[in-house]
Structure 1
Amino acid sequence: MFNLLIAGITLGLYSGLSPGPLLILLISQTLKHGHREGIKVAFSPLITDLPIIAVSIIFLSFVAGYSSILGIISILGGLFLLYMAYESFKTRELTEDIEAEEPKSLKKGATVNFLNPAPYLFWITVGGPLIINAYTGSILAPLMFIIGFYVLLVGSKIVLAFAAGKSREFITGKPYLYIMRILGIVLVLFAIYFFNQGVHLLIK
């Protein structure tokens, strides 16, 4: 049981700190609207992952190698990332007007996470098997893994949101615009990766 808790903590910390579309969205929303909106993005996996975990366990129970659904989701994720990149490229300077816009951070975070194939791949190949193997009549061991995973996943992203928020007051004018353009370029690169992965999954 302790080993499962350590595994959950380790994997959760890695997932929280590793570069990806959700982390970029967290930084972008924090720079635009403050650390509270970044924290909302940090909590978005708690909304989307429960059905992902359930579906993954069902897949493990009944399906041996089904990749077409992941391919479609990956392509949809790529399209959404391109839309996010477009928003980053058209960003204006940080002003009162931008602050007044409705951020919809939780909705954006949930959409990014749900359309990201990474959580599906993780729970099908790593998390799901760990939960199934740990379940021996008691739910406590799998629960320890899940709690450790999400405390570190969400917690590390909250720390990053606070860190990005601290420097928000220094990001004005062109430096802010440059950061948003860079984020847009990275999002395009992620979109290309998603499209490539989606095609490979569909023809696999």
Structure 2
Amino acid sequence: MLTYLIWGIGYGFAAAMQPGQFQAYLMAQTLRQGWRKTLPMIFAPLLSDGPVIVIVLLALSRLPVWWLQVLRFAGGLFALYLAAGTFRALRDFQPVQESPPSGERQNLFRAVLVNLLNPGPYLFWSLVTGPLLLAGWKVTPLYGIGLLAGFYVTIMVTLAGFIMLLSGSGKLGPRANRFLLGISGLALAAFGIFQIFSSL
């Protein structure tokens, strides 16, 4: 079980550190609302990957190739939508302030959507961790549980560290926050455009 736990930790760290839509979205939200409002979003992969794992392990191999292309296109459009919201926030930028409590649930929902509409988790689970999970589970379910536990605990801890590190940028002043917010918006737009063109 220790071997599968270590594999889960390693792959979880790699997945959390890989640049992508989700990381760019976390960056934008941290700079817009602060770490307290953004921190609950570390649970988004845990909430969104359940359906992803089921789809990948049970159905993805039986679906036509164009299905992944449709998903990639939809994810690209959603990333552009998030980028537009980031640029609107940049235009009307104000130093981080408390946002309405209702926004936390909405932000978590959007973070879950980012993962569900992003082909990255589907590819990751179909090519990397999915086969490993199945192999371990066939030996004993404990191996599979060890892999999943290591994977998701590491992802959440790493993402929390990422958010806290970004929140420290507030000490650099509003100009630094505006700059980083602009970078996150550009990153979201770039990911969206890339996904749309790669789906055609």
- Shared fold, TM over 0.5: yes
Deviation, 1:186, is 1.4
Matched with 1:67 is: 65
Q: State the TM-score, normalized to the length of structure 2.
A: 0.89
Distance 2:72 2:173 in 1: 33
Structure 1 stretch 65-74 or stretch 40-49: which is displaced more? 65-74
Report if the CA contact (8 A) 2:27-2:181 is conserved: no
Deviation, 1:171, is 3.4
Letter in 1 for 2:185: G
Matched with 2:199 is: 198
Distance 2:116 2:24 in 1: 15
Structure 1 stretch 5-14 or stretch 37-46: which is displaced more? 37-46
Is 1:100 aligned with 2:95? no
Letter in 1 for 2:68: L
Distance 1:176 1:34 in 2: 11
Letter in 1 for 2:15: S
- Deviation sequence 1:144-186 (CA, Å, 0-9, x none): 00111111111100011111122224331x4332322222111
Distance 1:75 1:48 in 2: 18
Deviation, 1:109, is 0.6
Report if the CA contact (8 A) 1:113-1:119 is conserved: yes
Report if the CA contact (8 A) 1:41-1:108 is conserved: no
- Deviation sequence 1:76-97 (CA, Å, 0-9, x none): 110011111111212222247x
Q: What pairs with 1:116-127 in structure 2 (closer than 5 Å)?
A: 116-127=118-129
Matched with 1:202 is: none
Q: What pairs with 1:32-47 in structure 2 (closer than 5 Å)?
A: 32-47=32-47
Matched with 2:77 is: 79
Letter in 2 for 1:20: G
Number of aligned residues? 195
Matched with 1:22 is: 22
Match of 2:145 among 143, 149, 156: 143
List gaps (5 residues or longer) in structure 2.
none
Is 1:164 aligned with 2:158? no
Distance 1:175 1:77 in 2: 29
Distance 1:181 1:108 in 2: 19
Give % identity. 29
Change (3 A) 1:169 1:105: farther
